[in-house]
Amino acid sequence: LVPLLVLWVRCQPGEIIGGWEATPHSRPYMAYLEIQDGVSTSLCGGFLVSENFVLTAAHCNGNKIIVVLGVHDITKQEQSQQVIPVRCQYPHQDYDKKSHNNDIMLLELERKARLNGYVGLIPLPVAHQRMHPGTVCSIAGWGWTSAHNNLSSDTLREADVEVMQDAACPRNPGGIYRNYNPSTMMCVGDPEKGKSSFKGDSGGPLVCQQTAQGIVSWGSKVGTPPAVYTRVSTFIPWIRKTMRMLQP
């Protein structure tokens, strides 16, 4: 069981396993998160759901988070980039560090993002909507590409992955999916195809039919699919309520 978060002190960020480089700025909702927690710095993904809120995983928390929007290559200062500090972090009140249940967090930005051709929103699903097994979705991130090296691509990578039946993440005692909860999690990625999110991709969206259906949460230590995603549709009431409460 490993949260898909990568520490810079250990390695350079790599990329999605079995993926390819995304067309620059083809995913204007993607957010790159630089997280400082004491002396360590880590990275996560996230996605813009309103002008002043980014949705990500609750385990992507830290003392200080900087959000970079409109980014493709993290090593360059692209004209398209908007760098916005996070004013406040709102992890789900029932997030469980051990089981990764309710692994979802809203980040309130210090100022509104400017929506343009490089920075945009992604729609959220209808509450409690479920994707049929076999639905092909896509993932994107700046995380590792392999469990065996720390070769990094500084550009956004993407891959297509398949929604699996819940039974593909079996809750065997002692097994890696023992904490899988079908009401709050999604089992995604065909083991035969080998494509998956991995360390550093945490918090990024699972995009199905142009909506953010999942959030990269956790998976196996070696990055073999299926990986587990937070089921966004379960949390729509919480997301709406939290955002409404914080709107000026």
Are 214 and 137 in contact by the 8 Å Cβ rule? The answer is yes
In this prediction, what percent of the chain has a pLDDT beyond 70? 86
**DSSP result, 146-207:** -SS------B-EEEEEEBPPGGGS---TTSTTTT--TTTEEEE--TTT--B--TT-TT-EEE
Query: Is residue 130 a part of any domain in this protein?
Result: no
Specify whether 113 is located in the same domain as 144.
no
Measure the CA–CA gap between 46 and 69, rounded to whole angstroms: 10
Give the predicted TM-score (pTM) of the model: 0.90
pLDDT of residue 144: 61
User: Is 166 among the domain residues?
Assistant: yes
Bridge partners for 105 per DSSP: 56, 91
What pLDDT does residue 186 have?
98
190 inside domain: yes
Does residue 211 share a domain with residue 240? no
Catalytic site positions: 59, 103, 202
45: domain CATH number is 2.40.10.10
CA atoms within 13 A on the CB side of 120: 11
Residue 12's pLDDT band (cuts 50, 70, 90): very low
Q: How many domains does the chain have?
A: 2
What is the tens place of the pLDDT at every residue in 140-168? 988 765 555 555 568 898 989 999 999 99
The structure tokens listed for 134 are: 């076999």
43 and 117, same domain (yes or no): yes
Q: Is residue 173 part of a domain?
A: yes
Q: What is the pLDDT of residues 179-202, one digit of tens each?
A: 999 999 999 998 888 766 655 578
